[in-house]
């Protein structure tokens, strides 16, 4: 546990409030990183949209893992109680900074997505050159996004490097654990869950046994449109 301490370090720059972030006017790097730092919110909105319109069990499980990851982050912050860096921001939702919730969130998302691309999709699709290429390109983009989001928390003075690194490690561990729980424990139960009356009422579906969901939806849509 960390005892409260006075901060005598001068603030690196005068800040203005933009949405939930503080950036300097004219600091282009800070503005770009501030936008990158908002990506977790965009990801959550995307998940809610997918769940509302697709109602697919694996997507719901992925989203549930993200929520539990956030709960673990809240628990760790209130156990460790390490303050945010000197010269940082006082008007944030919690005064504690260890571990970084943004870093933990984005690394959970990226690691889980990596495992989904290379393990689950590898089992259900023929690994042709074009498919492997887009997987590699997407993986590189996701890795770059995770690194930028993590760095943004340090640059914008919301976290120290150690808080970001430990947050990333916690997110990666949670991502691996939740992926294998979903694969080995939940996925075999999905057909039964999809058959529940409440699942049928809300049109919840299980697509885990469909080899290529994009091609399946494309062919079904074309056949229905004729």
**C-alpha torsion sign, points 42, 48, 52, 58:** positive
Please name the residues in contact with 133: beta carbons below 8 A apart, sequence gap of 6 or more: none
**Cα–Cα dist 92/70, whole Å:** 16
Confidence (pLDDT) at 18? 41
* pLDDT tens figures, 102-149: 899 999 999 999 888 888 765 544 557 777 778 888 889 999 999 988
Query: Three-state SS for 20?
Result: coil
94 or 135, higher pLDDT:
135
* pLDDT tens figures, 5-41: 545 444 444 443 444 455 556 667 777 887 888 888 8
Confidence (pLDDT) at 9? 44
Confidence (pLDDT) at 67? 92
Per-residue pLDDT band for 172 (boundaries 50, 70, 90) equals very high
Please state at what angle helix 129-155 crosses helix 28-37, rounded to 10 degrees. 120
**Cα–Cα dist 90/37, whole Å:** 18
Nearest Cα neighbor of 157 from 205, 204, 90, 61 is 90
* pLDDT tens figures, 175-210: 999 999 998 898 888 888 888 999 888 888 888 777
Please name the residues in contact with 186: beta carbons below 8 A apart, sequence gap of 6 or more: 57, 61
Nearest Cα neighbor of 213 from 124, 153, 100 is 124
Is the pLDDT at 98 greater than 70? The verdict is: yes
Cα angle: 221, vertex 223, 226; to 5 degrees = 105
196 or 95, higher pLDDT:
196
**Cα–Cα dist 81/61, whole Å:** 30
Find out whether 5 and 82 touch, Cβ atoms under 8 Å: no
Confidence (pLDDT) at 109? 94
Confidence (pLDDT) at 144? 92
Confidence (pLDDT) at 181? 93
């Amino acid at each position: 546990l960390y005892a409260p301490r006075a901060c005598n370090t001068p603030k690196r720059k005068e800040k203005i409030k933009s949405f939930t972030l503080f950036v300097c006017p004219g600091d282009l790097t800070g503005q770009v990183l501030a936008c990158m730092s908002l990506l977790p919110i965009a990801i959550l909105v995307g998940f809610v949209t997918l769940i509302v319109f697709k109602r697919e069990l694996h997507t719901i499980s992925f989203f549930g893992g993200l929520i539990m990851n956030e709960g673990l982050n809240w628990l760790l912050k209130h156990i460790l109680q390490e303050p945010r860096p000197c010269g940082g921001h006082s008007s944030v939702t919690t005064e504690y900074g260890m571990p970084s919730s943004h870093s933990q969130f984005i690394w959970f998302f990226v690691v889980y997505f990596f495992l989904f691309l290379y393990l689950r999709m590898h089992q259900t699709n023929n690994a042709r050159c074009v498919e492997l290429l887009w997987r590699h390109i997407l993986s590189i983009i996701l890795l770059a996004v995770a690194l930028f989001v993590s760095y943004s928390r340090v640059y914008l003075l919301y976290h120290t490097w150690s808080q970001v690194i430990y947050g990333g490690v916690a997110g990666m561990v949670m991502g691996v654990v939740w992926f294998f729980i979903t694969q080995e424990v939940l996925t075999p139960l999905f057909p039964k869950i999809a058959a529940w009356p409440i699942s049928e009422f809300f049109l919840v579906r299980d697509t885990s046994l469909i080899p290529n969901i994009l091609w399946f939806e494309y062919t079904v849509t074309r056949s229905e449109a004729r």
